[in-house]
A and B are shown apart, each in its own frame.
Chain A
Amino acid sequence: MTHAIELRDLHKYFGRNEVLKGIDMTVDPGQVVCVIGPSGSGKSTLLRCVNLLETPTRGQVFVEGVEVTHPDVDIDAVRRRIGMVFQQFNLFPHMTALQNVMIAQQRVLKRGKKEAEVVARDNLDKVGVGAKCDALPGQLSGGQQQRVAIARALAMNPSLMLFDEPTSALDPELVGDVLTVMRKLAEEGMTMLVVTHEMGFARQVADRVVFMDGGVIVEDGVPAQVIGDPQQERTRAFLHRVLHPEE
Chain B
Amino acid sequence: MADQPKTAEPGRTGLSPRKKQQVSRGIQYVVLAAALVAVVLYADWASLAQNFAKIDVARAALPELFTIALRNTIIYTIGGFVFAFVVGLLLALMRLSQVRPYRWIAILYIEIFRGLPALLIFLLIVFLPLALPGFEVPFGTYGQGILGLGLVGAAYQAEIFRAGLQAVPKGQTEAARSLGMSATRAQVTVVIPQAIRMVIPPTTNQFVALLKDSSLVLFLGVSGEYVELAKFGNDLASQYANATPIMVAGVTYLIVTIPLGYLASRLEGRKGRKR
A binding-site residues for B, Cβ under 8 Å: 51, 53, 76-77, 79-80, 82-84, 86, 88, 90-94, 103-104, 107-109, 138, 149, 152-153, 156
> How many Å lie between the Cα of A24 and that of B169 in the bound state?
32
Contact B175 A82 (CB under 8 A): no
**Which stretch (B134-142, B179-187, B217-225, B237-245) binds chain A?**
B179-187
Say whether, besides A94-B194, A103-B189, A86 and B179 are in contact (CB < 8 Å).
no
**Is B177 part of the binding interface, using a Cβ–Cβ cutoff of 8 Å?**
yes
Contact A152 B179 (CB under 8 A): yes
- For A93, give its contact among B177, B180, B189, B194 (CB under 8 Å): B194
Number of A-B contacts (CB under 8 A): 59
- For A79, give its contact among B177, B193, B274 (CB under 8 Å): B177
29 contacts between A and B (CB under 8 A): A53-B174, A76-B177, A76-B180, A76-B182, A79-B177, A79-B179, A79-B180, A80-B179, A84-B178, A86-B171, A86-B175, A88-B171, A90-B169, A90-B171, A90-B174, A91-B175, A92-B175, A92-B190, A92-B194, A94-B193, A107-B185, A107-B189, A108-B179, A108-B180, A108-B181, A149-B175, A153-B179, A156-B179, A156-B180
Residues on A with C-beta less than 8 A from B171 are 86, 88, 90
B172–chain A nearest beta-carbon distance, Å: 6
Residues on B with C-beta less than 8 A from A88 are 169, 171
> How many Å lie between the Cα of A222 and that of B71 in the bound state?
76
Considering only residues 26-42 of chain B, those with a C-beta below 8 Å from chain A are none
> How many Å lie between the Cα of A152 and that of B179 in the bound state?
8
Residues on A with C-beta less than 8 A from B178 are 51, 53, 79, 82-84, 153
Nearest residue (CB) in B for A81 is B180
> How many Å lie between the Cα of A149 and that of B179 in the bound state?
11
Residues on B with C-beta less than 8 A from A86 are 171, 174-175
Say whether, besides A107-B185, A107-B189, A90 and B180 are in contact (CB < 8 Å).
no
> How many Å lie between the Cα of A84 and that of B185 in the bound state?
18
> How many Å lie between the Cα of A107 and that of B180 in the bound state?
9
> How many Å lie between the Cα of A152 and that of B193 in the bound state?
19
* 10 cross-chain pairs, A with B, having the tightest CB-CB distances, nearest first: A80-B180, A90-B175, A104-B179, A84-B178, A90-B171, A108-B180, A79-B180, A76-B180, A94-B193, A76-B182
Q: Which of A82, A94, A107, A138 has the most CB atoms of chain B within a 10 A radius of its CB? A: A107
> How many Å lie between the Cα of A107 and that of B171 in the bound state?
19
Q: Which of A79, A90, A103, A156 has the most CB atoms of chain B within a 10 A radius of its CB? A: A90
**Is B12 part of the binding interface, using a Cβ–Cβ cutoff of 8 Å?**
no
> How many Å lie between the Cα of A82 and that of B174 in the bound state?
13
Residues on B with C-beta less than 8 A from A76 are 177, 180-182
**Is B18 part of the binding interface, using a Cβ–Cβ cutoff of 8 Å?**
no
Say whether, besides A104-B181, A156-B179, A90 and B172 are in contact (CB < 8 Å).
yes
- For A94, give its contact among B169, B181, B197 (CB under 8 Å): B197
> How many Å lie between the Cα of A199 and that of B171 in the bound state?
26
Nearest residue (CB) in A for B190 is A92
Considering only residues 131-181 of chain B, those with a C-beta below 8 Å from chain A are 169, 171-172, 174-181
Say whether, besides A92-B190, A94-B197, A104 and B180 are in contact (CB < 8 Å).
yes
> How many Å lie between the Cα of A149 and that of B175 in the bound state?
9
B178–chain A nearest beta-carbon distance, Å: 4
Say whether, besides A107-B185, A108-B185, A92 and B179 are in contact (CB < 8 Å).
no
Contact A92 B172 (CB under 8 A): yes
Contact A107 B181 (CB under 8 A): yes
| 0 or 1 for each of B264-275: is its CB under 8 Å from A? (1 = yes) | 000000000010
Residues on A with C-beta less than 8 A from B176 are 92, 104
- Given A91-B175, A94-B194, 11 other A-B contacts at CB below 8 A? A53-B174, A53-B178, A76-B180, A79-B178, A80-B180, A88-B171, A93-B194, A104-B179, A107-B185, A107-B189, A156-B179
> How many Å lie between the Cα of A93 and that of B181 in the bound state?
17
